[in-house]
A and B are shown apart, each in its own frame.
Chain A
Amino acid sequence: MGVREPMATGLPSSREISKAQELVYELQIGQVMTRSVLWVTPDQTMRELEVLLRGRGIGGVPVVEVDRLAGIVSVSDLIRSLHSGVPDTRVREWMTADVVTVREDDSVVEAVRAFAQRPVSRLVVVDDKGKVVGIVTGGDITRGLLRAMAPAHSRSEVGRHRASHIFQDIVSDDTSLRLRYSIKPRDFGRGGEAASKLKRALQRLGGWPEIVRRVAVATYEAEMNLVIHSSRGGEIVAEVRPDQVRVAAVDDGPGIEDVEAARKPGFSTAPDWIRELGFGAGMGLSNIERCADEFTIESERGAGTRLAIAVRLAEEERLGNSPT
């Protein structure tokens, strides 16, 4: 028998700890860092810095001069400048010029070492030419480890066919990928194929496992609703954007008599044969709502139903930023 896991103590098991240790070596800084980096120039005022830090709720930013890293400036520098009583001072006077930098392809363990050896709370990630490409904090590392520890199915298989670069490669002011799936009514055997294909597509696009799971579960429930209830089938349309995934399930009838009632957990009009297959318990809509950040359903008896959801991706969850 395997090792007994401690029950409900809230502490990670020894296995989970050793997994985290392995990942610290395996993960690269590029997989955990924050990519969209704000910066200031040495000639900006400390007042401007204050507005930036306060507005974004961050603790420090790199200082960049003519595309090159010139230093780093943080809240503690800001406090020192305020205590000095000298008005209108510049970033140049307070920044730390000796910055601890790391490379995108360095192992996360390098960052952990740097944090242990130097009294810093953020490291600047630079490329070969010394250009700033990201920033990494202790919080970034913790989040990156937690993400990477989430089990992802057939990760290696999916990894061979990655398409996660398309949002970086194809540049426009507003790039999105639209995937359409048509759903046949009462075709129970094939129910779930659209959700399965969408899930795979999102994995290949580099979606975070938890995000992919939420979209997949919501889409699957919506797809089964089309299979079970729609008169002539319907369509699932997914719109994949770097910062969100939107899914709409649309049919042209018969429509829902009382939408408010249908949204209540346990409400169902599914026939017995559907219930015997493990569906139709009236949990679908509330389950979809639970998985989504936005949820709307419009229906008219005789006209049809349109269900739409959105799952928003946080900065570090943007497509192409996955650690897996």
Chain B
Amino acid sequence: MRLSAIAAVVGAEVLTDELGVDVDACCACGADLMSDVLTYTRPGALLLTGLVNPQVIRTAEMADVVAILFVRGKRPPAETIDLARQVGIPLMSVSLTMFSAAGRLYEAGLRGCDLHGRS
């Protein structure tokens, strides 16, 4: 699903300069535990999280996450946003809880990393 479509579905505010015109997230992962992100995400996934420290960006970078959606209205500090710009990962924020944001996206057709492309 296009990142712009994701932002529209949940009504997210975009925190970095742009989302990229044709960037797709293949699937999504919701976690507040960084080791879970490293273990369960697929390359090209969207990450939903309530954590906002710079390590979230590092974790996303290592796991080839394409964008991060901060839930529960969390606003990352400037150092987190700076690092995201540096490594080219777009950030979004939404006031919905993790469950509600995930539910809206699932309803719109986005699937979890565990269901994406399963054969």
- Shortest Cβ-Cβ A-B pairs, 3 listed: A192-B58, A10-B119, A283-B35
Which parts of A194-217 form the interface with B (CB within 8 Å)? 195-196, 199, 209-210, 213, 216-217
Within 8 Å of chain B (Cβ to Cβ): is A150?
yes
Q: Which residues of B contact A (CB under 8 A)?
A: 1-2, 5, 9, 26, 32-36, 38-39, 43-44, 49, 51, 53-56, 58-59, 61-64, 66, 79, 87-88, 108-109, 111, 115-119
Contact of B118 among A10, A189, A290 (CB under 8 A): A10
Q: A196 contacts B36, CB within 8 Å?
A: no
Chain B residues, CB < 8 A from A199: 61-62
Knowing A2-B2, A2-B5, A5-B109, say if A150 contacts B43 (CB, 8 Å): yes
Which parts of A76-91 form the interface with B (CB within 8 Å)? none
Min CB distance B24 to A, Å, is 8
Q: How far is the CA of A282 from the CA of B38 in the complex (A)?
A: 13
Which parts of A14-68 form the interface with B (CB within 8 Å)? none
Q: How far is the CA of A192 from the CA of B62 in the complex (A)?
A: 9
Within 8 Å of chain B (Cβ to Cβ): is A1?
yes
Interface centre among A150, A153, A277 (most CB of B within 10 A): A153
Q: A277 contacts B53, CB within 8 Å?
A: yes
Q: B38 contacts A189, CB within 8 Å?
A: no
Q: B58 contacts A195, CB within 8 Å?
A: yes
Q: How far is the CA of A7 from the CA of B26 in the complex (A)?
A: 12
Min CB distance A196 to B, Å, is 6
Q: Which residues of A contact B (CB under 8 A)?
A: 1-5, 7-8, 10, 12, 150-154, 157, 188-189, 191-193, 195-196, 199, 209-210, 213, 216-217, 220-221, 224, 277-279, 281, 283-284, 287, 290
Knowing A196-B61, A221-B38, say if A2 contacts B32 (CB, 8 Å): no
Chain A residues, CB < 8 A from B38: 217, 220-221, 287
Min CB distance A19 to B, Å, is 10
Q: How far is the CA of A281 from the CA of B34 in the complex (A)?
A: 9
Q: A209 contacts B64, CB within 8 Å?
A: yes
Min CB distance A128 to B, Å, is 37
Q: A213 contacts B115, CB within 8 Å?
A: no
Contact of B115 among A4, A7, A193, A210 (CB under 8 A): A7
Q: B88 contacts A153, CB within 8 Å?
A: yes
Q: B35 contacts A281, CB within 8 Å?
A: yes
Q: A278 contacts B109, CB within 8 Å?
A: no
Residue of B nearest to A213 (CB): B64
Q: B111 contacts A5, CB within 8 Å?
A: yes
Q: B43 contacts A213, CB within 8 Å?
A: yes
Q: How far is the CA of A256 from the CA of B33 in the complex (A)?
A: 23
